[in-house]
Every structure is written in C-alpha cells, then in structure tokens.
Structure 1
Amino acid sequence: MASLSASAQSPARSAKPSTTRPWTYWWWMGSAVSEADISRQLDQFAKAGLGGVHIIPIYGVRGYEAQSIPFLSPRWLSVFAHTVREAHRRGLGVDLTTGTGWPFGGPNVTPDMAARQWQLQAGQLVSKPTRQQVKRAAPGGEGPVIDPFSQSAMQQYLRRFDSTLATLPTQPRAVYNDSYEAYGANWTTDFPAEFRQRRGYDLSSQLAAFLDSTSTDGLRVRQDYQQTLAELLRDASAGTWTRWAAQRGYQTRYQAHGSPGNLIDLYALASIPETESFGSSRFPIPGLRVDENYEIDRFGTPHPLAMKFASSAANLTGKPLVSSETGTWLADHFKVSLSQIKPQVDELFTAGINHIFYHGITYSPAGQNGSNPSWPDQSWPGWLFYASTNYGPSSHFWPQLPLLNQYIDRCQSRLQTSHPDNDLLVYFPMHDLWATRARSAGGLHMLEVHHVDRWLLPLPFGQLCDSLRLRGYAFDYVSDQLLSTLKTDRQGRIMAGNASYRAVVIPRCTYLPETTMAQLNRLARQGVRVIFEGGLPEQVPGFYQHQARSQTLRQLGAGLRRLPVVSVSRDVVATLGTIGIRREAWASRGLLFIRKRQGDSVQYFITNLGNQFRAGWITLAASGGPVIRYDPLTNQQSTLPDRRLQSTRSVWLRLEPGQSCFLTVSPAAPRPDRSPPVASVGPGQPMALPIGGPWQLTFMTGQPALNLSRQVPELTSWTTLADSAGYFWGTVRYETTFDLSASIDPAAVYELDLGSVREVAAVRLNGKPLGTAWCLPFRLTIPAGQLKPGRNRLDIDVTNLSANYMRLYDRQQPGWKKFHDINIVDIRYRPFDASRWPAEPSGLLGPVRIVSYQ
C-alpha cells in the first residue's frame, strides 16, 4: 500500500448530488441485496425527495442466509458499484461506513491491532485486550474492534479498503465513522512511550499517584493520562482515517461524540462533522406527544449545547456542511409521526446543523416492503432495523414524507448558502472536566450526546452557555488547539473560516494551559475582547513542573489583565451588554434561532418550540431595510409590519408554537415608519369561528378493511366507534358543512385550524384542495376566494399511525420478526410485542375553527 503521505489518484465521480435534500441511513441486512431491488428502492427515494443514502451493512435475516453477501467480497463490490452508478443516474449521493455495524473492526483485526485496556500486574501497568467485537456486524464484517488509540492499527485496518473499495470505477462521496463505542478501551501498546514524549515524564514513575484518585498529584497525573489518550485518538486514529480518506478522494463524516477526546478538535478533522439527535426533546409545544415508555434516565434527550460541538468545529474551520443522525428512537416502532420529527429537525437547524440524515431506512427485497395502504401482498412491514424510526416505504407516513423532505430542502437551501454570524467564542475547559471523577467504563470521560446532564451542564461552561443561549446570544465553542490557529483583523475581530467573532469568553475554570493563556495574550494585544468569568485561572493542568508552569500562567495572566480589552466579570451577560455584543432579547420568550449572513443581508431561522410566544413586536439585533419573512412550509414570503419607538425599530412577528420561519434583513435603508410611534397593540389580532358538528365519518382505504360509516355530533377518536376500528390503519373521511354569516374581509388572512390531528389530514374546502396538514400546529392558509359567505363544505381525509394495525398483525403474523442479532426490540430494548398495546387515538380530534387576522 502507498504510504499515507503519498498522493493517491482520485476516483471518478459523477455530478454532485443534492445536499439540501435530506439523506438517509440505509441499512443492508446481511447485505442480502440485488441489483433489481436496489434500483427499485433508489427510484422510490428519488421520487420521495431524498438527496442520498448512507449504506451501513449490518446483521442478516433468518431464512436469507444463502442470499447474504460477505462484506467487500467481489459480489459485494459489484452490487455496491451498481448502487453508486444507479444513484448518480437519479441525482442521489452515496456514503459508506468504513466497516459494518460499529465501531471499526472486523476479520482483518489481528490481536495486536485490537482494542486494549490497562491492568495492574506485579506492580506494573500492562495491557490486555478488551475482547469487544464489532456490534451489529454484517456477514464478512465480524471481528474484534480496533485499538482507537493506535495509528498503526488504523493503517493496517484501512488496507482492506485499498485492496477492495479503491479498485471500483465509481466511489462513494464520503466515508463514515460512527460515534465512539470502544467500551473499556483505555490503553494502547505504545502508550508509555507516547506519554513520556508528550507529557515529559514516565507514567511508571508516578504509578502510585495514578492509582490514587483522591490525591492532588493523582488528579494531575490523571489529567495527563486522559490528555494523552485524547491526543492519540485525534492524531493517531481519527487523524489517520481522515488523511487516508482525503488522499483517496473521499470526504469524511465523523461522529466524534462518545469519545474521551476533545470533541471540538475531533469534529474539526472531518469534512462533514456529524452530531446525533437520539430520543425526543420535551418541547412544551401544545399537542406534541412523547412516548411515555421512553426512559430519559437511561437514554437521555437531545440538547442543542451538545449539537454545537459539531457546528462550532465546522464554523471555525470553514466547513460548509454539518450533519446529524436524526430522529433515532423518537417513539416506539409504528408510533412515530411527522409532527414529532419536525420540531427535532428545527432544533438541529438552530444548533447549526444543515445536512440532515434520517435514521433511517432498511433495505427490503420486492415482496417484503409494503409501500401503500392497499398492500397487494401480506409481507408488510418488511425488513426493519431494531431502532425506530422507520422512514422507509413501509412506514405509515411514507406517502406524506415528501412534504417533510420539501420543508427540509427549502430550509437547508438557505442554511447551506449562508455563513455564521456569531459574536462570541466560548472556551471549552476540557482540563476541568478531566479533573472530575469519570463515570464511564475504563475510568475515562466519554463525551456523549445523550447525557449532557452528566458532563456538560454541570460544568460552569455548560451553565454559562445555556444562559447565553436562552438570553439570545450567538456563540460557538473553541478548544485550546483551535484557539492557537485564530487570526484577527484590524478591527480586533477574530477571523476563522467564514466566520468572525468579537470576543472570547473564558468560563469559570480552575485549570488553563499556559500555552492557552499565551494565545489569549496574543489575541488581546491585537484588540480582541477577552472576558474571564469570576477570575483568571491560576493553575495549569498536569503533573510535570506544575508549580513552575503555574507561575508562568499567573505571570501571563497578570499581564493580560492590564490590557484594556480584558474584563473579569461575575456576570458575563451584564458585561456583554456594556461592550455592545448583540443580543436577541426576544429569545427569552421561548424562541430558538440561528443568525447567519448571506451576502450583505442578515438571515435568521427562528422556531417556536415552546408555549410562551404567539405574536408580538420583536426587535432584531440586525438593522437595515425591510424584514422579509419566508415560510419554508408554504414557500410563501411577505414583508413584516414594522414600527419605530424612539431609536428602536421593531417588527411584528406571528409565530405559533411549532411554527418556524426565516427572516431576512437587507442592508437597504429602513422604510418610512408607517405605524403609530407609541402603538402597543400589533396588527392582526385573531378572530375565531368554531366549526361544530355533526360530522359524517366514512372509513376508506386501510387494513383491516372496514365498511363503516357513522355520523357523530362531535369529534372524537374513531377507535371509539367500534371494536374493529381500534385495529384500523388507513384513512377516514370527515365531512361537514358550516355557515359563515360574517362578510369576508379581503384584507384579512384566513386559516383553517384543525386542532389535534392523529396524524395527517388532507383537506378540501368547497371542493378544492386546501393542502395537507402534517405538523404542529395543524393549520392551513385559505386562499382568497375559496372561503365564501353562507354555506361552506369541508372534507378532511385523516390517516393514522400503523400502530393500531400492528396490535392485530403482531398477534396474527409474529413471524415478521425474523432478524439475527438483536432482532426487533421495543423502546425499552425488550422483545417487541405489540399485541397488548392499547389503541392509539386516531382521526380528527379538533376543535376545528376558522381563524382570521389582519
């Protein structure tokens, strides 16, 4: 194999696929795939509005062992080449995990390459294998997990791909490294030599301190130990993999989280840093449901502060794309709705993510994947991955998935073509974390995205960042390493990638490397604002020459403190106000946002994931000309009403809980003020007309087939109408008429508010389509002329979850659960059994009303 420093010929590639459309994980179970089914499913993906696939070979299907194709075998390479070729023909991209399952490992991992941990033997630290095997491995991918701290192990591991994948005429866009799950690995064969070279002393000389977690010296030695592992992971393993990929023409998608390293530095190595959104956030949006069986204590919830590690690394290094594994385990199988997915996507957007990857879709052969409610065969639900959510053709929301895809496409088209507009860099004090006791296996701090309450939020860093976020400040994180790379301009702004920053904030911390204090000195002398929370740290991390190095730190700090651009503050938020750092005050009303620059304009993405705000005057930190609102859900834009009170200019924003929009502020001069200078009541105070019953219900296409029609005086779940209705998955039509006695104001905006919908509603008003309501709030704008005075007719086709049918199907056809390894489990990782589920509420639950406002 050519050395990693040698150049490698880039493989041929077709036209660039769309990155604004969402991509999806695509699990190949046992790689029991065929060219015909690959082409068929790629057609489905393209028509649904997906932008690409990320192939992950995993465990197989019982009864299909003979059809399984060993990973990287000649036959596997042939079907993979077919996939890339056919995907490119359809405008789709293809990414590939550099392995099967997770983490890296396989049959070519020899004992000397395998993950290791230390143990004490005869008074000496020696290594032993962890014996961890690749999790969820595909045929041909089984074997030990590689040593994540060894450069030579990674180099040997990657040779398998040079002799197989690199021989193909067409290649994937990117290779992928999943989140760190090398459990118990905390050592590598050459660790003593690496430690001595990097830390300046022999670890064996301080063995007693290393083993004593209560002493001061022990704490410092442990800091050195964890920093050495972090550097080895960054330089030897992740660095080797990303260099190998770049030299062969691949981009890299890297999930650094879960690792014992500094996440900012690790994400920064990747072409496309990737975070993860696992489980459902507890947004207080009225009507938003969460699965009551989801165990927060066990699995945690998504948090934007964790997501910002990936986007911060991208912003500081000028990477245009930041991706996310999206929607994993939002709810149990067959229970996830589109209305639950959208708020999670919106939260990702506000955290700087702009390249969504669904998690995900499972390959299913023909006859194993029902794609519409008529189901010509009885092989539904096809092949499924053990972890919900299913975004594939057998999902109950597949017919409406193009609506979500279109929404994401519109959002990402703007987010990917704009640049960050954050004012602050907040230093991440990794050494303070290393000074606390680790809870993870192997005695290391694993910085995983699930439980930020265990490592991120308790730190002063986490507390400060959460306060800044909720009060409307825009910021990124910075590490010791990236701090040393920063440049400044003549105005004292930090310039990095396509971003610029006006100040660096050092949260309250005990330890700071003297080299970092020197870098802060450099920046401050070039005019950069530096703010220390509480005081300047007076200790360096680590054991070697601790006192002398700490003295250097204090001397540097004393000089730094005398500079006029340096502040020490107990209240950082108050200090930011005095130095003119921009704040979006309206964020304290429960609105999340990201602010970006697009040419000479400032662009906001704002989402209401709370229950405090509905409409009101807001003052944007960006000044300029008219403020244009763009609704990515409807593809409509309008100019917001504005007013000026003294020197403050505000705009009137209506944004119901669950809604989101873009606001663009152009650099043009503001329009003449047209509103009263002291007006306190904004335009468009809403009026509501309730639409009561009776309602005619007709059961239409679905399973099991029901010939059922009912008239009901008021809206209720259709599962209450008959015992058989509790098992029905499909569509029910709701019909009613209502009188509009008031005249129609041509200047007013009219909306149909459906209230609670389980789960999607296709609406016709007076015989004309009004649209499909699929997310919270379930509202549709009524075009001018479609609503008329007097009698109006409303027809609403509502489609529910497949969970109710699975209650029956799982009892009658349990053989669909036929997968190796973990098979199918529920949201608590117990064997899946839907036969005892209660019926999920279904249909139009209302209340339904016509809402109007100016």
Structure 2
Amino acid sequence: MKKRFLFTLLLISGIAAAQPAIRTTSQQAKPWTYWWWMGSAVNEKDITHQLEQFAQAGLGGVHIIPIYGVKGYESQFIPFLSDRWLAVFAHTVREGERLGMGVDLTTGTGWPFGGPNVTPDIAAKAWQVQKDQLVTRPTRQQVKRAGPGGQGPVVDYFSKAAMEQYLKRFDSTLIHLPMRPRAVYNDSYEVYGANWTDNFLNEFRNRRSYDLASQLTAFLDTSQTEQSILVHQDYHQTLAELLRDGFTQTWADWARKAGYLTRNQAHGSPGNLIDLYARVDIPETESFGSSRYPIPGLRVDKGYEVERFGTPNPLAMKFASSAANLTGKPLVSSESGTWLANHFQVSLSQLKPQFDELFTAGINHIFYHGIPYSPRAESWPGWLFYASTNYGPSSHFWPHLPLLNQYVERCQTRLQNSRPDNDVLVYFPIHDLWATPAKSEGRIHQLEVHHVERWLLPQPYGQLGEQLLQRGYSFDGISDELLNGLSITKQGIRSAGGATYQVILVPRTTYIPETTLRQLDKLARQGARVVFEGDLPQQAAGFHEHQTRSAEVQRLGESLKKQPSVTISADPYDALNRLGIRVEPWAAQGLSFIRKRRPARQSADTTQYFIANLGNRYHQNWVTLSAKGHVSRYDPLTGHTEVLPVRQGKNGQPEVFLAVEPGQSCFINVAPSTAHKPAGRPVSSVSQQPQNSRSEPALVLQGPWQFQFGPGRPALIASATLPTLVSWTALSDSAGYFSGIGRYTTMFNLPAGQSAAQAFVLDLGDVREVADVRLNGQLLGTAWCLPFRLTIPANRLKRTGNRLEVAVTNLSANYMRLYDRLNPSWKKFNDINIVDIRYRPFDATTWEAMPSGLLGPVTLRPVASMSEGHALGR
C-alpha cells in the first residue's frame, strides 16, 4: 500500500509537468466545429472551398470525424488511413495552416475506438459465470457510425496491451505525415456492457489484495448487503484504475510521444471523471439537448424527450473544468449544441444561453456539433448528419453565424487568458456512489452527462454543489487521487497545477479510503481549512481488512476533530461564512457566473467575472462584489467597455449598479485600486441609484407596417400593409412554406418632450429569428439573441419622420415542409440515414408552419444608464 501511495504522488506531480505547452491564440479563442467526413468522400478542391468558408465566418478550427457515407457516392468513398485518405488529410492540415485554422482528428471513425485491426483477443469484454467461476465473454459491440475502413469490433478499453496494439495502426500511417493534427480525440465513453478484461482477476488481486473469486457470492449479490457493497466498491475501483491506466494514460502517452495534444470526453465511463479528465491535455464535456431556462421568449423544442435524454447540467460540466483547473490545463472544451432542436429548427437565440452556461461552468473552448462535409455541387440542403444542429453553409443562420462566432471569440479570449479563482474544493466521494445499485448495462456505474438526476444530483455531492452554485460560491470538485497533489502555501491550498483554494469541503460521506482521510489530516495539520458536512465518515471503502481500516478511519477522524483548522457542521454554508470564504450573494437572485483572475504585469491581478442571466428574476440592482477596486463592464456582444456606477452601501461596502436582463451576459472586471483605471467612457461614482430605465415611458410603434417578401425559398413577391404585426405565415397558404427574408417598414415620430439628443433602446419584442435593422437609411445593427434589443445612439433619431426598416430571416423549417414532400430522395445517407429529434425517421411533411418574422411589440424608450445601453445586442 505504501509503495502504491508513493507512486500515486509521483504520478500526480507529473500530470501538470508533463503537459505540452498550450499557447492561447486567436485561433483557439474562436469557436471550432466538428466536421463529419461522410464516407470520407472528400476532395482537395471542396476541402479548400469549405475551409475558406469556415475561416471567413470566424471559425478557428475543425475536428474531423470520418463517418458513414452517402448513398450513390460509394465509388468516391476513401478508406480510413489509406494512402489517398492520408493525402486529403495532409491537404486539410496544410490548408488549415494557410488559413490560420487548426485541425483535430478522432483516433478512429465513429465511436468508440475500434476497427478492422481489433482482433477478438483485444476486443471489448464482459464477465460471466461458468461453473462457479468468473470467465470472459466478448461483447461483440461494433464501432458505431463507422466510416469506410473503420468498421470492426470495439477495443478493450481496460487493457493497456489492447490499446497499444490498436494504436499501432496509426504508427504505421498517420504518424509519418509531415502535417499533423493539433490534437487527437476520444468521444464520450459508449462502450456498452463491457465490464471486464482478460487479466482482470490478476489486476484485482494485485490492486485490492484479495481474490475476487473468493467473494463470488458477495459479488453476484444484488440485495445490497454490507459485504456486497464493499466488494462492488473494489470492483468499480479496479475498473476505474484499469480504464485510467489501460486506456486514458496509454492513449495520452502515445499522443504526446507523437506530438499530438489529446482531447477526451471522459463522461459515460465507469471511472472517476475527474481523474480521467486530468490525464489529457484538453478535457471535454458535452452539452446535449436544450436546458429549460425561464428566459422570456426562449423557444424549447416540444419534441425533445427530457426523460429519455436528460438536459445539460453545469455540475456535470464542472468535472472537466475542475480537472483542468487542478492540473493547470488552460483549455477546457465542449461538444456543444447537440440536438438543441429538430433539424432546420435551431436558432441562434437558442444557442447563446447554452454557451453562456458552458462559460459559467468553466468551459472556454467551444466545439460546434457540427458541420457535415458537403460537395459544392450538391443541391440544398446538402449532406447532413443525423444529429442536429447544423452550423454549416446550408443552415438558415449561416449568414449571421459570424455574429455568434464573434461573441464566442470575445468571451473565450478573456476566459482563456485568465486563471481560476475558486475558493472551495469539494471532495467527490465516489465510493458512496459505488455503494448504490448500478443501473447501466453490465451492472456498472457509467457517469454520463445526460441523466445526472440518476447518479449525481441524488448524491450529497450533487446536492451540495447545486446549493453552492445557487448561493454564489466558486468551487471545483476534487478526487481522492488529486487530493494527494495538494500542498500548503502562504496563499492557501495549492494544487499540482498551481490553482489556489482556501478550504476543502467534504459532503456527507459514508465510505472513504483511509488514505484520503490521512491526506486530509496531514493537510489540516499544516493549516489547511477543512469543513465536514454533518459528521466525519466512519467506514473505510472496500472489503479487504475493512474493520481494521475502518478503525483507522475513525482514529483519523478523532485526530481531525482536534485540528483547529477543521470544522464539522450540519450547516456548511454557515461554516464557510464564518471562515470568510468569498461569496457572491447576488447569484441567489438567479444569476450564473464564473470568477477568474487576469494577470497584470505591473500590479495585482484583475478579478474577472463572466455573468449570465439564464433566468427571469434578475433585471438590475445594486450588488456587492467580493472583489474590490475599480469596476468596469465589458459587453462581448458589442465590444463596448464602460466604468460602472458605484456607491457606498448600508453596510459600508461598495456596491455597483448591475443591469443584466434575462438572456443577457457580460464581463465585470475589478482592477485593484492601485492599478490604472480601465479604458472606457468615464462615469463618476454616484451615491444614488441610476434612474430605473425600465420605468421610463415606452413608445409603442403601432404601425401600420409595410411588408415585402425578400430573397428565399420558394420565391414570393407578395407585399402587404399590416395594421398590426403578425407572423408572415398568416398572410397566405404559400407564405407558410417560405424560408428567407421578410422586410418590415414603418414611420414614426418622437413624442413631445423627448429629445433626439439622447440614446434610446429599440426593443423588437418577439423576433423569428434574426433581425437586421436600419434606421433612417443607416444600418443600426443585428438583433440575433434574447432580448432582441438594439441601442440607438444619441442624435440618430429625428423629431419627426423616422423610417425604421427591419429585415427578418426565419428558419428553414417551413420550406422543408414543402421540400420533404417534393424531394424525399434528399434523405440518402447510410447507417441511421436522417432522423428527427425522437430518433424516428425524419418526416417534415406533417409539421405545422412555424411563426416567422417580426411579431413585436416594437417599443422605443430612452436609455437612462450606460450599463443598459451597452448591454444590448448589435
């Protein structure tokens, strides 16, 4: 045990040191995209054309995934890793470099890893009982969605030898290219039923110090007896270590030797996610489906089945960002926007809140999911991947995608160039999870991102984490293994990657390794502040010498109780407050945030907040920030910076006036008082609240409105005078099939008493889906996200005779209602072909027409504060 503990210490200390340097660049600050090569039926000319389109739109890179092909193009399929495939891949990397774009590559086709070089001896395995013995059986799982040249069995993820043999295929092909990908990638763990490997019993004996076969009765017991629980903890612990060592570490070591970075989606695996994410260069989480944000006006696809797929959750996302923070990884990525809505029905306004949630969870390297390669000669809608969302040139929002890309780049530039600033480390007691019945195939716990309500939220860690977020605490999760990498400095508790924390918080825990409690005792003796929720754990995890080790757990508990830096409390939040742990109380009003530090060369660091209003409770108020100094606000939608009003609160603490409407987001920077004031238009500190601009009288633009169909499908030339704003689908039967641009025009005067010399807010109300706005012949801006508002600068309005023109682009869903009836042969893809959001064969002919155009009401009101004016879209 002592040798194993020393080895773990050495391994953890090397996790951060072994990482290749990752230089934050504009390329990496921009969003990247999954790029599915369907059948790898690609050619150099179309590759160059699409990469040029991507670069012009503001994408920073592509992640190539060879996937199943398109019917009728079989003669153009290129087998994975063939000489021709390597040639087009090398061309892609060269062209990417020319255009300033990066290229990542899945280490295989489809998912999980596997293929024609996976022989039965290295394929995925499960256990079964024969004649009262545990023996191996093959799972016979094949690579899912495989591309040409990638079909075959799934590899044994628990075997180092199997992984080494699998990777030899790339040693003889990819590694010899002079142009290489930036990173190689592993998709979410979807190895179904695999729970064994050939040498599992030997590994178990060596790692757990007893023979699993001797406890076969307990292992097969499903009645949750104490002995069965302890044996299953050991079984899961062994699986977790084999997955970490056999797959993750083997793959990561191979990639680093070859000069590649690694991106890994650890979720779904039967291991400790924090440990698995920590072994790679870029941990990657996933945002699948649509969250149910109560933002007014936010559409949610009614067909999405929450019970089947779950919804995104920031606690699951934080496993990836926690691992990165603890080990000093500058990038944390996400597969983003998967199945946000049905095909042809996703809007930019639906995407932004999902990305804002990812940013507040510590993600700073967005990957769109995604864009299929499609030849230029292919008619609309081109080649499509079975899972929505399509971010590519055939998408209805492609002309406006640069606006989203610019927003993401502005956010990620700041998030990538800052360091974590979390005070709390929350211990993840995975052995308590392993003490509960496993529901996944193979009787193992697979820690997926889809259904956190099944495994994470019921646990004390999940309950505590949700409360910490809601109350305004900044925290990271930490595993048993990474606890061993902590040290104590004058600044606090330091991780192996250099992040500093002020307290370790242990949720209510039943089972804990004695080595973990020993480490906590050691840290406490050195001055680390440790808070236990409820009481100290009383039982060791695992079966071997359980009573002896539990006695050690209890002895260590008594030792911890005597340490002055240890707090045991049924109310951990009260304990944190008594310890002076920073809290942002305004988060309780429904705001999500992440707090980071931006290094300064000649002064103390600037504290940086990214704040997103994903609810419907907060609008504007005076708030107290835990950071003190000169406060400025940066709006990533507009690029504007301003100094915010500040006053002295009733408790003597400085307060800042913060306006963040539902759906909006911003950065708040707090520079030390000794530093230079941030750039921006100066605003004097005030002792009274700025006038509440939402109480200002609003001018409703009643119309009438002149409407004209613009470019789109099918071509329409109709026009109409609208007494009131309605969906253009109500104008005629044919209008219900139109996808394109509709133009609205109206004239208005300013009311008496209102000066044109001041700035105004133009609120477009309900927009379906993007509005390009011109005022008196000049472009005012584009409203593409909630709330659909634009700022009219001072002196842009006239007293009378103002002309407002709004060109609205809708979804392509209405046209697909017609196209799918007239041209059903567009659905020509192999494997799963094309399905709807419920995974049924795609059929748009039964859809109802989706509301389209400017639905309003359109209002105009004076801007009473700079923070409101700069918070609006463009």
**Short-chain TM bin:** over 0.9
- Change in 2 beyond 3 A, CA 1:162/1:127: same
**Which secondary structure does the structure 2 equivalent of 1:699 belong to?**
strand
2:620 matches 1:615:
yes
Q: How far, CA to CA, are the matches of 1:749 and 1:445 in structure 2?
A: 57
- Which range is displaced more, 128-137 or 211-220? 211-220
Superposition deviation, residue 668 in structure 1: 1.2
Q: Pick one of 776, 783, 786 that aligns with 2:786.
A: 776
Tell me which residue corresponds to 2:825: 815
2-structure distance, mates of 1:676, 1:135: 61
**What secondary structure is seen at the aligned counterpart in 1 of 2:29?**
coil
Alignment of 1:138-153 (within 5 A): 138-153=147-162
Question: Per-residue deviation at 1:633?
Answer: 0.2
Q: Deviations over 1:474-496 (max 9, x none)?
A: 00000000000111103543344
- Shift in Å, 1:686: 3.8
Aligned match of 2:477: 477
Aligned amino acid, residue 557 of structure 2: G
- Relative distance call for 1:93 and 1:674 in structure 2 (3 A) is closer
Listed as ranges, the matches of 1:231-630 within 5 Å are: 231-368=241-378, 379-599=379-599, 600-624=605-629, 626-630=630-634
Which whole-Å CA distance do the structure 1 matches of 2:547 and 2:150 have between them? Answer: 50
CA distance in 2, matches of 1:259, 1:760: 40
Partner residue in 2 for 1:371: none
1:728 matches 2:732: no
Aligned with 1:790: secondary structure? coil
The alignment partner of 2:511 has SS state of coil
- The letter for the 2-side match of 1:204 is A
Q: 2:798 aligns to what?
A: 788
Distance in structure 2 (CA, Å) of the matches to 1:380 and 1:641: 51
The one-letter code sitting in structure 2 at the alignment partner of 1:753 is D
Amino acid at match of 1:58: I
The alignment of Structure 1 onto Structure 2 pairs a total of residues equal to 834
Q: How far apart in 2 are the matches of 1:82 and 1:403? A: 29
Which sits farther off after the overlay, 742-751 or 512-521? 742-751
8 Å contact kept, 2:503–2:529? yes
Write the distance in 2 (CA, Å) between the matches of 1:294 and 1:43: 34
Deviations 1:292-335 (A, max 9, x none): 00000000000000000000000000000000000000000000
1:155 aligns with 2:161: no
Counterpart selection for 1:766 from 742, 764, 776: 776
- The residue identity in structure 1 corresponding to 2:659 is R
How far residue 575 of structure 1 moved from its aligned partner, in angstroms, is 1.0
Q: Which amino acid aligns with 1:251?
A: L
In structure 2, how many angstroms separate the alpha carbons of the residues matched to 1:476 and 1:649? 28
Per the alignment, residue 826 of structure 1 pairs with 836
Deviation of the 1:655 alpha carbon = 1.0
Alpha-carbon distance in structure 1 between the residues aligned to 2:750 and 2:24? 54
SS in 2 for 1:117: strand
Change in 2 beyond 3 A, CA 1:701/1:230: same
Q: Retained in 2: the 8 A contact 1:743–1:789?
A: no
Q: What's the offset of the Cα at 1:237?
A: 1.0
Output the CA distance in 2 between the equivalents of 1:432 and 1:681: 52
In structure 2, give the amino acid aligned to 1:73. S
Distance 1:496 1:580 in 2: 24
Q: Equivalent residue for 2:641?
A: 637
TM-score by length of 1: 0.96
Q: 1:123-155, CA deviations, whole angstroms, 9 ceiling, x for partnerless residues?
A: 100010000000000000000000110000000
Code of the residue aligned with 2:822 in structure 1: it is Q
5+ residue gaps, structure 2: 1-13, 600-604, 865-874
Q: Look up the equivalent residue of 1:623 and give its one-letter code.
A: K
Percent same amino acid among aligned pairs? 66
Equivalent position amino acid for 1:152 in 2: A
Distance 2:696 2:511 in 1: 55
8 Å contact 2:622–2:657 — kept in the other structure?
Answer: yes
Q: Distance in 1 between matches of 2:772 and 2:304?
A: 30
User: What code does the residue aligned with 1:609 have?
Assistant: L
Aligned equivalents of 1:561, 1:339: Cα separation in 2:
52
What secondary structure is seen at the aligned counterpart in 2 of 1:72? coil
SS in 1 for 2:638: coil
Equivalent pair of 1:644/1:673 in contact (CA under 8 Å): no
CA 1:569 to 1:65, structure 2 compared with 1: closer, same or farther past 3 Å?
same
Counterpart of 2:175 in structure 1 is 166
Deviates more, 1:478-487 or 1:744-753: 744-753
Structure 1 residues 698 and 239: alpha-carbon distance in aligned structure 2, compared to 1, 3 A threshold: same
Corresponding position of 2:602: none
C-alpha displacement of 1:14: 13
- Check the 8 A contact 1:592/1:608 in 2, yes or no: yes
Instruction: Indicate if the aligned counterparts of 2:756 and 2:797 stay in contact, CA closer than 8 A.
Output: no
Q: CA deviation at 1:669?
A: 5.5
Residue of 215, 219, 232 corresponding to 1:206: 215
Partners of 2:491 and 2:374 in 1: CA distance: 58
- For residue 111 of structure 2, what is the aligned residue in structure 1? 102
CA drift of 1:784 comes to 2.0
- The two structures, once aligned, show a CA RMSD in angstroms of 1.9
Query: Relative to structure 2, which stretch is displaced further, 675-684 or 227-236?
Result: 675-684
Letter in 1 for 2:779: P
Give 1:362's aligned amino acid: P
1:79 aligned to which of 61, 85, 88 = 88
Aligned to 2:9: none
| Structure 1 residues 167 and 679: CA distance shift in structure 2, 3 A | closer
- Amino acid in the other structure paired with 1:83: T
Q: CA deviation at 1:679?
A: 5.7
Find the counterpart in structure 1 of residue 656 from structure 2: 651
**Equivalent pair of 2:428/2:461 in contact (CA under 8 Å):** yes
Q: 1:92, 1:219 → 2: CA distance?
A: 50
Structure 1 runs not aligned, ≥5 long: 369-378
8 Å Cα contact 1:494/1:528 also seen in 2: no
CA–CA distance in structure 1, aligned partners of residues 372 and 548 of structure 2? 58
| Aligned equivalents of 1:178, 1:779: Cα separation in 2 | 38
Aligned residue in 2 for 1:59: 68
The 1:14/1:176 distance shift into structure 2, 3 A limit, reads same
| 1:691-706 aligned within 5 A | 691-706=701-716
> Are residues 1:40 and 2:88 paired?
no
Which aligned pairs between 1:7-18 and structure 2 lie closer than 5 A?
18=27
Query: Aligned partners of 1:678 and 1:454: how far apart in 2?
Result: 48
Q: Aligned with 2:749: secondary structure?
A: strand
Q: Residue in 1 aligned with 2:7?
A: none
Cα drift, residue 17 of structure 1: 6.8
Q: Deviation digits for residues 74-128 of structure 1, max 9, x if unmatched? A: 0000000000001110000000000000000000000000000000111100010
Aligned equivalents of 1:103 and 1:477: distance in 2? 27
Secondary structure of the 2:698 match is strand
Aligned-partner Cα distance in 2 for 1:683–1:287? 21
* Distance in 2 (alpha carbons) for counterparts of 1:695 and 1:684: 26
Residues 161-170 or 687-696, more deviating: 687-696
Following TM superposition, the consecutive aligned residue runs of length 4 or more in structure 1 with deviations greater than 4 angstroms are 13-17, 669-685, 743-748
Letter of the 2:444 partner, please give it: L
Residue 743 of structure 1 and its aligned partner are, at CA, apart by 4.5
1:577-598 Cα shifts (integer Å, max 9, x gaps): 1110011000011110000000
